[in-house]
């Protein structure tokens, strides 16, 4: 069959999670609920951190950035899915599909890097407490976040440009609820060896690199905690890592489960269903994991809702050195 250049393709079809019409209202209600909970919960984290000067520290600076990225991450895919379900349509423009793919990769990679940066912050706080304020200064914190944005943007742009150069022989029917890179590549009608190699290499570098940093940081943290003599000291040190460790486990295990499972079964439907875990469930649970176990966040939220006048500049995330 003669390859058809992708510039002639004007739209794609997102087949979603289920084609049964009777399930659409249930899917719409469930995902709308999870989306609103995610946006509201992460927004509360941002407002709590920005409104309370006691939380203007590196750890909460990174947490507020993670919450912002999670809002963007879920907003990349779910609103379009809800719109399609409500309008009983499966159409997304080709340009919209590429744009969605770009931002999905961007914010997914940012999540990855920010989790690694937060692990490094905990490593410095526990293993080098006397030098924490010197090492984790505002300049370094800003540079770490900026570097994460730049690397993620370049990585996402690389994949988007490579997909733009693919040719397709038929209309794009994507068995997913968003434009997933791997499925777009599989729909191409000529040799995609370069794209497949880039996907695998990128997954190893962008996923394995931050994960290696996280594992190294926690190996040092565990070693340092074991050296603490008092049981209370061990509990206090480890309790500062529990929330972050929970999110890291949820993010990586769900992501690895999806890709390893889809590689074993070759089922697009199982991949789409499994990806709900790290695209929707993980961002939704982040605020609960941090707020339920964090007295500082709870205290800041109580203060925020107890204010008579709305604080000026609620999104200014200034940093203050820890005592």
Q: Which two tokens stand for residue 312?
A: 């000026």
Percent of the chain with pLDDT over 70: 85
Give yes or no for a contact between 71 and 39, defined as CB atoms under 8 angstroms apart: yes
pTM of the model: 0.85
- Per-residue pLDDT band at 67 (split at 50, 70, 90): very high
CATH number assigned to the domain with residue range 23-290, chosen from the 4 options 1.10.10.60, 1.10.10.10, 3.30.420.40, 1.20.1070.10: 1.20.1070.10
- Assess whether pLDDT exceeds 80 at residue 280: yes
Which three-class secondary structure state does DSSP give residue 76? coil
| Pairwise CA distance, residues 27 & 252, whole Å | 25
Q: First vs last Cα of the chain: how many Å apart?
A: 68
Give yes or no for a contact between 183 and 268, defined as CB atoms under 8 angstroms apart: yes
Residue ranges of the domains in the chain? 23-290
| Pairwise CA distance, residues 82 & 86, whole Å | 6
93-132 pLDDT, tens digit per residue, is: 888 889 999 999 999 999 999 999 999 999 999 989 899 9
Q: How far, in Å, are 82, 104, 145, 196, 216 from residue 180 at the CA level?
A: 17, 8, 26, 13, 31
Q: How far, in Å, are 6, 47, 323 from residue 35 at the CA level?
A: 32, 18, 37
Give yes or no for a contact between 270 and 261, defined as CB atoms under 8 angstroms apart: yes
Parallel, antiparallel or unpaired: strands 172-174 and 11-14: parallel
Which residues fall within 8 angstroms of residue 84, CB to CB, at 6 or more apart?
A: 14, 16, 90, 91, 92
Q: Which two tokens stand for residue 145?
A: 């976040």
Partners of 172 in the beta sheet? 12
Q: Maximum CA pair distance of the chain?
A: 72
Give yes or no for a contact between 3 and 169, defined as CB atoms under 8 angstroms apart: yes
- Assess whether pLDDT exceeds 90 at residue 147: yes
* Closest alpha carbon to 187 in 201, 202, 176, 203: 176
164-218 pLDDT, tens digit per residue, is: 888 777 677 888 888 888 888 888 877 778 888 888 888 888 888 999 999 999 9
């Amino acid at each position: 069959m003669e390859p058809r250049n992708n510039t002639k393709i004007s739209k794609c079809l997102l087949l979603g999670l289920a084609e049964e019409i009777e399930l659409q209202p249930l899917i719409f209600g469930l995902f709308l609920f999870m989306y609103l909970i995610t946006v509201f919960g992460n927004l509360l984290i941002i407002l709590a951190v920005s409104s309370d000067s006691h939380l203007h520290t590196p750890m909460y600076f990174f947490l507020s950035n993670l919450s912002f990225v999670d809002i963007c991450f879920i907003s990349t895919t779910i609103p379009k899915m809800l719109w399609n379900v409500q309008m009983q349509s499966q159409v997304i423009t080709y340009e919209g599909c590429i744009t969605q793919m770009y931002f999905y990769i961007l914010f997914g990679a940012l999540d990855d890097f920010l989790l690694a940066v937060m692990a490094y912050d905990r490593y410095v706080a526990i293993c080098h407490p006397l030098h924490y304020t010197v090492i984790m200064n505002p300049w370094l914190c800003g540079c770490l976040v900026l570097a994460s944005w730049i690397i993620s943007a370049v990585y996402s742009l690389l994949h988007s440009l490579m997909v733009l150069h693919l040719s397709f022989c038929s209309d794009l029917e994507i068995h997913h609820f968003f434009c997933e890179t791997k499925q777009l590549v599989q729909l191409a009608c000529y040799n995609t060896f370069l794209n497949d190699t880039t996907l695998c290499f990128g997954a190893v570098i962008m996923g394995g690199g931050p994960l290696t940093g996280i594992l190294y940081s926690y190996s040092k943290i565990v070693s340092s905690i074991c050296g603490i003599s008092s049981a209370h000291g061990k509990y206090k040190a480890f309790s500062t890592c529990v929330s972050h460790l929970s999110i890291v486990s949820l993010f990586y295990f769900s992501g690895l489960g999806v890709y390893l499972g889809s590689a074993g079964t070759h089922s697009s439907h199982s991949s789409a269903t499994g990806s709900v875990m790290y695209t929707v469930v993980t961002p939704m649970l982040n605020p609960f994991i941090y707020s339920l176990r964090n007295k500082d966040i709870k205290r800041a939220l109580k203060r925020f809702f107890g204010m008579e006048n709305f604080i000026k500049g609620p999104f200014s995330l200034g940093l203050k050195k820890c005592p």
